[in-house]
Amino acid sequence: MADPETATNTLIDETASVEEADHLIKDDAGQILDIVKDFSAEDQELFRLKYIAEVSYEEIAEITGRSENALRVALHRIREKIRNEYDG
């Protein structure tokens, strides 16, 4: 059994790690949104539907009138553009 001081230090380290991870995720999200704002209106809408609103491919297909396969290709290209811009 760990002594109380060790347990407290471990908890503090884990809490700091969670807070740091949360901060990094928010920074990454902000950077990604900055990248996406320069995309076409259509690509921005697809990104918002899939990754922010978490709408299924089937539902996006119904909304946009595009096939699910075409949406998968379009979203793959959007992810690639984000990855290329993000990695610089």
Q: What is the CATH number of the domain that holds 71?
A: 1.10.10.10
Domain count, the chain: 1
Calculate the alpha carbon distances from 64 to 3, 25, 37, 39 in Å.
59, 30, 20, 17
Q: Residue 15: what pLDDT? A: 53
Considering the chain, what is the average pLDDT of its residues?
Answer: 83
Quote the pTM value: 0.70
pLDDT at 59 over 60: yes
The whole domain housing 54 covers 4-87
Q: Which tens digits make up the pLDDT trace of 5-45?
A: 665 455 445 555 666 666 667 778 889 999 999 999 999 99
